[in-house]
Every structure is written in C-alpha cells, then in structure tokens.
Amino acid sequence: MLSKKSKYAIKALLGLAEHGSDEPMRIADLARQESLPQKFLELILLDLRNAGVVQSRKGKGGGYLLARPAERIMLGQVVRLFDGPLAPVPCASQTAYVPCADCADEATCGVRLAMKEVRDATARILDQTSLAAVRRKQAAAARKGGRS
Amino acid sequence: MLSKKSKYAIKALLGLAEHGSDEPMRIADLARQESLPQKFLELILLDLRNAGVVQSRKGKGGGYLLARPAERIMLGQVVRLFDGPLAPVPCASQTAYVPCADCADEATCGVRLAMKEVRDATARILDQTSLAAVRRKQAAAARKGGRS
DNA sequence: ATATACTCTATATGATTGATAGACTAAAGG
DNA sequence: CCTTTAGTCTATCAATCATATAGAGTATAT
C-alpha cells in the first residue's frame, strides 16, 4: 500500500508543477487546492525539501517551488522517500538491499525470485515516470473523458 | 511491503509442493523444514484452507496438502489473501475497487493513473506465476549458482 | 519592527503486525 | 470405546507504524 504521505506528496508536487516555477506557492494555498491536511503537508514538504526535491522561501512572498523541472522529478524518488524501498522484500531491493536473517540460501529463495520481478517492474515504471509525464497522462485522460 | 504472513504462506506452499500430493504433511514438519514459527503457521494454513488453496486431514496420518496441482496455484491469490489488493491505492484496484473519499475527479487523478500501471504490472506477474513456475525458477537458479 | 510563512520537536492515538497460549474437535487404530 | 494424534478456533498481547495535531521557534521582506 502507498502511504498517505507518498500520496499527498505526489499530489502536492503535481500542484507545484501546475503552479509553475516562477514564484513560490504557499503551503496553505497548496493544502487548500489539493485538499490535504495542512499541518501534515508541512511535514511532507519539509522531507521533500531535505531530499532536494523542492525549494522553500521564508517570509512574505515565500512558499515552495520545485527544485528542478517537472520532467526530472521521478515518482520513484518520492515513493522511496516516504515508503522506503520499492521491493516487497528487503532481500529483493536494489537500492536498499538487506539480507533475510532466516534465509538459508538466498540465491534459490522462491519468494525472493518472484518478488525481484515485482520490484523490477515497479521500479521500471516509477523511476521512468516524471511529474511532467503524469501531467501529460492527466491531460490525455481529461480529453478522453471529456468527449461525451 | 510483503507481510510475513504472505511470505510464510508462499514458503509453506512451496514446501507442500515439494513434498508431493500423495500424503499429507504435518504442520510441525512443515514448520521445521521451512523454519517458520509453528503456531503462526497454523493460522496461515487455516486461512489457506478456508480459501481452498490447501486441504487438511485431522488425526493420525493427517496434515496438509495442496488442494490442486502446483501449476494452478498462483502467487496472486496467496498475496491477495493475506495482504489484500495488489494495487498501491484502493481506487486503482481491479479486484477490490474502492473510490477515494476526497478525490475530486478520479478519471484524471495523477496518483491513480500512475498507480494503476504499477498494479497492472504487479498483477501480470503474480497472477501468472504459479508455485510450479517458482519451483522451476528455483531449480534454474540452483543450476546457475552451482557451476563454481 | 512587524507581519508573514516556513521549521522543528513533541505528542497522541488508533490500527496493524507478528506472534503465543490454550481449550476444543475430529479421525485413526487398537 | 478410549487414547493418541493432529488440525481448529478464539483470545490475547506487545511492539511498531501511520496519520495526524499542537505549538514554539526562526528567517525574511518591507
């Protein structure tokens, strides 16, 4: 399951992407626009900032903006930041490998072999899907749904 | 993350598949062989039985066996049984769709569009991988690792 | 200076996970 | 039958995690 943090983070980033990179967007506005609990969103944005995904400015006229073009912010980084490794089991993770304590022979562990395929498929998708790509999908879906 | 229940369930089922379908295997033996906590395994096997994945026999000479050939037991069923829907968000689930309470327009929700791809990829893998297929992968990996 | 708006730490709490205990029931076999 | 064997079922529990909320603190613009 995707945590609320990841979900809210993606929504917030999409909101920032839509807002544009000219001037910062305030937390309060972002929370209202995306229907996110503001105080919770603050924590999320803080994590995103510490990870270098967004930038912030304090004081009047301050707020948040994307730290780089939406084309270069991948969902994989966001999901890993809040939910940890993509792999269903730690021993199948590429970026955060941890061996199983109990596993007798990892190389031939059935669970690991199957879950490695899942993790690879997930990583292929999330590491190649940028915020900009999501926005394009949204636009395409809107066009499709709109022809009634 | 895959829960321990799912992980143990797959291990136990692989153990039963290896044991063969001639005679039942006792919980205690299965737990020892696969290094699983026995009392916990009992609950897992009970769920698997209620789901029709395994059969049980009571009394002397009793135990558990697969309810159908290993070729026809898919990982997807097992994982769904213990961890729920494969989709990272309920609104992207095929088998257990639940709309988001807050979502303004589901058709163009960016999170949903991206996560639907993840769920489809995951389902493609887990619903097409049988216990027998996993066993073949294990054998192949053993051959590969064994040429030292 | 002062209002603005992000920053940081602490806390609550409810659900979920992983696991254990023990009483109960059905079947086999003498 | 009656005893042994082995699965069945319910309750409970500790620990962890997820989802927030509160409030004091800090930097910035004007």
pLDDT value of position A25:
98
**Do A59 and A89 lie in a common domain?**
no
Domain-located, residue B55: yes
Domain-located, residue A32: yes
Q: Which nucleotide is nearest to A62 (CA to C1')?
A: C5
**Is B141 in the A-facing interface, judged by CB distances under 8 Å?**
yes
**Do B54 and B106 lie in a common domain?**
no
**Do A61 and A88 lie in a common domain?**
no
Q: What is the residue range of B46's domain?
A: 4-66
B69-107 pLDDT, tens digit each: 999 999 999 999 999 999 999 999 999 999 988 788 999
Structure-block tokens of residue A18: 């839509």
**Do A33 and A17 lie in a common domain?**
yes
Q: Is A81 exposed, middle or buried (0-12, 13-18, 19+ CB in 10 A)?
A: middle
pLDDT value of position A97:
96
pLDDT value of position A104:
82
The C-alpha atoms of residue A130 and residue B2 are separated, in whole angstroms, by 26
pLDDT value of position A148:
52
pLDDT value of position A24:
98
pLDDT value of position A46:
98
The C-alpha atoms of residue A64 and residue A55 are separated, in whole angstroms, by 6
A29-72 pLDDT, tens digit each: 999 999 999 999 999 999 999 999 999 999 999 999 999 999 99
B1-53 pLDDT, tens digit each: 999 999 999 999 999 999 998 899 999 999 999 999 999 999 999 999 999 99
CB contact under 8 A, B114 and A142: no
The values of phi and psi at residue B101, to 5°, are: -65, -40
The C-alpha atoms of residue A120 and residue A127 are separated, in whole angstroms, by 10
**Do B82 and B123 lie in a common domain?**
yes
Q: How many domains does chain B have?
A: 2
Domain-located, residue A10: yes
**Do A8 and A62 lie in a common domain?**
yes
> How confident is residue B148, by pLDDT bands cut at 50, 70 and 90?
low
Which amino acid is residue B113, in one-letter code? L
**Is A44 in the B-facing interface, judged by CB distances under 8 Å?**
no
Domain-located, residue A148: no
**Do A82 and A45 lie in a common domain?**
no
Domain-located, residue B134: no
Are B33 and B23 a contacting pair, CB within 8 Å? no
Q: Which of B2, B14, B110 sits opposite A110 (nearest CB)?
A: B14
Nearest CA to B60 out of B14, B24, B89 is that of B24
> Poorest-confidence range of A94-108, A127-141, B47-61?
A94-108
**Do B82 and B57 lie in a common domain?**
no
**Do A56 and A78 lie in a common domain?**
no
Question: Residue A56 in 3-state DSSP?
Answer: strand
Q: Which of B75, B113, B134 sits opposite A137 (nearest CB)?
A: B113
Average pLDDT over residues B107-135: 98
CB contact under 8 A, A107 and B134: no
Q: Which nucleotide is nearest to B50 (CA to C1')?
A: D8
Closest residue by C-alpha to C1' distance, nucleotide D6: B59
Last residue of a domain, one of A28, A46, A66: A66
> How confident is residue B145, by pLDDT bands cut at 50, 70 and 90?
confident
Q: Is the dihedral of CA A97, B87, A124, A115 positive or negative?
A: positive
Domain-located, residue B140: no
Domain-located, residue B101: yes
Are A48 and A9 a contacting pair, CB within 8 Å? yes
pLDDT value of position A147:
62
Domain-located, residue A140: no
Are B100 and B106 a contacting pair, CB within 8 Å? yes
pLDDT value of position A145:
77
Query: CA–C1' distance A16–D16 (Å)?
Result: 33
**Please, what is the average pLDDT of chain A?**
96
Residue A86 clears pLDDT 80, i.e. is over it: yes
CATH number, domain at A49?
1.10.10.10
**Do B21 and B54 lie in a common domain?**
yes
The C-alpha atoms of residue B113 and residue A138 are separated, in whole angstroms, by 8
The C-alpha atoms of residue A75 and residue A137 are separated, in whole angstroms, by 14
Q: Where are the alpha helices (DSSP H) in chain B?
A: 4-19, 27-34, 38-50, 75-83, 110-126, 131-146
pTM of the model: 0.95
**Do A18 and A62 lie in a common domain?**
yes
Nearest CA to A76 out of A2, A8, A126 is that of A126
Residue B147 clears pLDDT 80, i.e. is over it: no
Last residue of a domain, one of B37, B66, B95: B66
pLDDT value of position B104:
82
The C-alpha atoms of residue A67 and residue A49 are separated, in whole angstroms, by 8
| DSSP letter for each residue of B58-75 | -STT-EEEESS-GGG-BH
Does the nearest atom of strand D lie within 7 Å of A35's Cβ? no
Average pLDDT over residues A134-144: 95
**Do B89 and B106 lie in a common domain?**
yes
Last residue of a domain, one of B66, B85, B119: B66
